[in-house]
């Protein structure tokens, strides 16, 4: 059984006071441990404040990006040891916004994945096709290319240490989520490749999250899909009640899925 994982990606939102308030409200929502792993990825500048608010809570901290080198002359960059020092457990790698806006290449993404693993944190490798690619029937070619390139040079054991996120670009911030069926099809395909790159057992134990317009009102249908192991949430993670509601759907998902299959 894979423990569901729900991650809030706050993107470039929030000054420190906003981040503190949001983190405090999320923390209030989960005073006790639940059967879901919860994490938030604030902007770099808010990481220390949010780390302080979340200390001793059940909510883990993540970062939205990193540089592949541990230190050096890389003006404006943040390394994985710097994130580890602040208590980050996860690092998002290869988000489509970075691929598009910063021109991040698969090769750079692969180096980041390796750096995150080297320092004992968990990379959340994001893959996803654009709307054009889907219309042209290139969904599987695109995500397979991103997955294999992102994992280049990693042995079977290392492959098992990642979390993956399928985020169709056309679903991010648009209000149009992939249907559970569309997501499940891609997740199954990704799991097949992971099985080849590691082992069937490892692939079965690996979390593949869905991201793209996940909201409280569509979370149940997505999260009860057996291939979907959790969610990577943008906009809806900026409102504590909405984020908390989504996590609660993830907590209830295994039982809801059993109900549905009766
Ligand atoms: P939205 O939930 O705002 O569509 O963003 C998804 C995303 O990009 C999470 O990384």
Q: For the chain, what are the domain ranges?
A: 80-132+142-173+188-213+225-236
For residue 170, the CA-to-ligand 1 centroid distance in Å is 10
Token representation of residue 95: 């988000």
- Torsion sign, CA atoms 103, 229, 256, 260: positive
Token representation of residue 126: 């994001």
Q: State how far the Cα of 258 lies from the Cα of 215, in Å rounded to an integer.
A: 22
pLDDT of res. 261: 63
pLDDT of res. 255: 81
**pTM given for the model:** 0.97
For residue 200, the CA-to-ligand 1 centroid distance in Å is 29
Catalytic residue among 95, 187, 225, 227: 95
Beta-strand relationship, 37-41 and 59-63: parallel
pLDDT tens-digit profile, the chain (262 residues): 799 999 999 999 999 999 999 999 999 999 999 999 999 999 999 999 999 999 999 999 999 999 999 999 999 999 999 999 999 999 999 999 999 999 999 999 999 999 999 999 999 999 999 999 999 999 999 999 999 999 999 999 999 999 999 999 999 999 999 999 999 999 999 999 999 999 999 999 999 999 999 999 999 999 999 999 999 999 999 999 999 999 999 999 888 887 776 5
Q: State how far the Cα of 7 lies from the Cα of 243, in Å rounded to an integer.
A: 9
Q: State how far the Cα of 167 lies from the Cα of 212, in Å rounded to an integer.
A: 6
The neighbouring-strand residues paired with 164 are: 125, 208
Phi/psi at 170 (5° precision): -70, -15
- Which of 96, 214, 217 has most ligand 1 atoms within 8 Å of CB, for mutation? 214
The CATH code for residues 80-132+142-173+188-213+225-236 is 3.20.20.70
Catalytic residue among 167, 225, 227, 242: 167
Phi/psi at 160 (5° precision): -75, -5
């Amino acid at each position: 059984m894979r423990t569901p994982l729900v991650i809030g990606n706050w993107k470039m939102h929030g000054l420190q006071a906003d981040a503190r308030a949001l983190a405090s409200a999320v923390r209030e929502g989960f005073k006790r441990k639940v059967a879901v792993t919860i994490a938030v990825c604030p902007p770099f500048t808010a990481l220390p404040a949010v780390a302080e608010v979340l200390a001793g809570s059940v909510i883990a901290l993540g970062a939205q990006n990193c540089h592949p080198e541990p230190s050096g002359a890389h003006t404006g960059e943040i390394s994985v040891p710097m994130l580890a020092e602040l208590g980050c457990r996860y690092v998002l790698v290869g988000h489509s916004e970075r691929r598009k806006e910063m021109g991040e290449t698969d090769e750079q993404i692969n180096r980041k994945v390796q750096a995150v693993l080297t320092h004992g944190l968990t990379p959340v490798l994001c893959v996803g096709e654009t709307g054009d690619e889907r219309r042209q029937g290139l969904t599987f070619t695109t995500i397979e290319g991103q997955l294999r390139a992102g994992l280049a040079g990693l042995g079977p054991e290392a492959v098992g240490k990642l979390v993956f996120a399928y985020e169709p670009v056309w679903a991010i911030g648009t209000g149009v989520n992939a249907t559970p069926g569309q997501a499940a099809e891609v997740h199954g395909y990704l799991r097949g490749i992971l099985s080849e790159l590691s082992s069937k057992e490892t692939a079965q134990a690996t979390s593949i999250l869905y991201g793209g317009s996940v909201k409280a009102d569509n979370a149940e249908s997505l999260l009860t899909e057996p291939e979907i192991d959790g969610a990577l949430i943008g906009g809806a993670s900026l409102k504590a009640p909405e984020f908390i509601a989504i996590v609660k759907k993830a907590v209830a998902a295994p039982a809801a899925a059993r109900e549905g299959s009766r």
